[in-house]
Chains A and B, each alone.
Chain A
Amino acid sequence: MATTKSRNLPLSKRGFNFETIMWFFTRLSALGIYAFVIVGVLGALIVSAQTGINLANLLRWAFLPNTTSGLFRDQPWIWALGKLMVTGFILLVSAHGVHGILEILDDYFSSPFMRRASRNAIIVFFLVANAIAIYVIWTSTFIGRR
């Protein structure tokens, strides 16, 4: 079996360009998403300890914190924290996601024109989708003050 050389290239030799920044961002955003998941599930576990909810509701609490619940009605900071959590999560997930899609598109588009077009399209998608998401998150009564 032929020996294969591993891609063991230190960060200092990779060059500091857009691709390196996005490579680093993809890894860091993934770690950020894990952090959000851990904080969300821990928060939901605290709620479940007080309300005795089941696993499905626990996960729902983790990702769509229902701050209209009577449990937190007298604690307005929960309202802001819940919305900030969901907004941060959506922004991080969509940024990570659109860059992943861009990497896949780059593998299939070789011409500079198509690559530029796909980048522009994905940036427009990112802006529109997040504008809708943030508007809904901050105006809905589902995750907000009743």
Chain B
Amino acid sequence: MSLKRNVNLFSALRYKGYGPMLAYLLHRIAGIGLFIFLTTYILALAGVGFIYTLYANWLFQVLVLFCVLFHAINGLRITILDLWPNLIHYQRQVIRVEWFVFVAVYGFAVFVITRTALGG
């Protein structure tokens, strides 16, 4: 129960964890983003009206979609590696596959959203 944090923020930012570290950070940031989104979504359901104005903004939709897709695809990678631990040796290759899938799906989704938003 007693965590001793000996790493300050500056050292943490200089840590060269590359792909796995980036995926870990983005997973947490996207997760927090989704948590905030879910909270505001429940508030909107409860009748707080101004939140719908925010949801209608296409930039917000692009941001939420990033959180949803990255968290979902990276979460699937984590689940697969946790349930089949021997695959951990191929972690970096799996992360490359994950980024390939993410860029393809997210790129298509952003294209559809922006085209609709810009009246294409």
Which A residues have a C-beta under 8 Å from some C-beta of B?
Answer: 6-10, 27, 30-31, 33-34, 37, 55-56, 93-94, 97-98, 100-101, 104, 106-108, 110-112, 115, 129, 132-133, 136-137, 140
Contact = CB atoms under 8 A, between A and B. Distances in A.
B83 interface: yes
B118 interface: no
B8 interface: no
A111 B2 CA distance: 6
A122 to B, nearest CB: 10
Nearest to B3: A110
Given A6-B85, A8-B88, 17 more contacts: A8-B86, A9-B85, A27-B82, A27-B83, A33-B72, A34-B76, A56-B116, A97-B31, A97-B34, A97-B35, A100-B35, A107-B3, A110-B3, A110-B4, A132-B45, A136-B42, A140-B45
A6 B75 CA distance: 19
Contacts of B82: 27
Contacts of A111: 2
Interface of B is mostly: helix
Closest 3 CB pairs of A and B: A136-B45, A110-B3, A8-B85
Contacts of A37: 72
A97 B1 CA distance: 22
21 contacts: A7-B88, A8-B85, A27-B78, A27-B82, A30-B75, A30-B76, A34-B76, A37-B72, A56-B116, A94-B38, A98-B35, A104-B28, A104-B31, A106-B3, A110-B2, A110-B4, A132-B46, A133-B42, A136-B42, A136-B46, A137-B45
A85 to B, nearest CB: 15
Contact of A129 (B2, B4, B39, B112): B39
B8 to A, nearest CB: 13
B93 to A, nearest CB: 14
B43 to A, nearest CB: 8
B79 A27 contact: yes
B22 to A, nearest CB: 17
B14 interface: no
